Structures are given as C-alpha cells and as structure tokens.
C-alpha cells in the first residue's frame, strides 16, 4: 500500500497502517466512508444510527477499500464499490 507519509518504509511494512474507526450520526442514505489523513493514517466513519450488524458490515466494507487500494486508483467508483462488496 502506498500513500502519503509512507515513502522510505520497507515494502513489507507498508500494509501496516493506523486506522481510526468512529461512529457518527450521518444522513440516512450514508452507511460510511474512509478518509486518508496527511500522516498516512485513515479515518473510517460509520453511521451510528444503524444497527450493530450493519455498522460491522460497513466498517468491513470500508476496510476492503483500503486493502484494495481504492483510494489511490483511477477506477470508476461503481467498480470499486463492487469489489469492496466481494470481500
């Protein structure tokens, strides 16, 4: 995984990143999102208004975006969303 703040880190360590998960009240149509931070860490926000299982699935979905490096590719959003659901 390559992202901001990861220059000079050995390849085998680039997959170890800090991820902060936060439940916040979001609009009903938004399950969650992932945002990169300038220090190489990531924030995952999930809609705290959802039930516990849906929150868990949303966090897993957002982690799939990170694992598949979707934040740094040029694929259409629909394709990245489809891949994130494949797990």
Please tell me the predicted confidence (pLDDT) of residue 1.
44
Q: Where are the domains of the chain?
A: 11-77
Q: Which helix (H) or strand (E) holds 17?
A: none
Q: What is the pLDDT of residue 16?
A: 62
pTM of the predicted model as reported, rounded to 2 decimal places:
0.77
d(CA 81, CA 39): 25
Q: How confident is the model at residue 14 (pLDDT cuts 50, 70, 90)?
A: low
For residue range 27-86, what is the model confidence (pLDDT) as tens digits? Answer: 999 999 999 999 989 999 999 999 999 999 999 999 999 999 998 899 999 999 999 998
Map 21-71 to HEC letters. Answer: EEEECCCCCCCEEEEECCCCCEEEEEECCCCHHHHHHHHHHHHHHHHCCHH
Distance from the Cα of residue 11 to its chain's centroid: 20
């Amino acid at each position: 995984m390559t992202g901001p703040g990861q220059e000079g880190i050995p390849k085998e360590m680039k997959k170890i990143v800090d991820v902060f998960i936060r439940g916040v009240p979001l609009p009903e149509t938004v399950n969650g999102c992932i945002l990169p931070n300038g220090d190489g860490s990531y924030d995952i926000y999930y809609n705290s208004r959802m039930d516990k299982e849906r929150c868990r699935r949303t966090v897993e979905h957002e982690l799939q975006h990170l694992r598949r490096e979707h934040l740094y590719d040029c694929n259409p959003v629909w394709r990245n969303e489809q891949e994130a659901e494949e797990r």
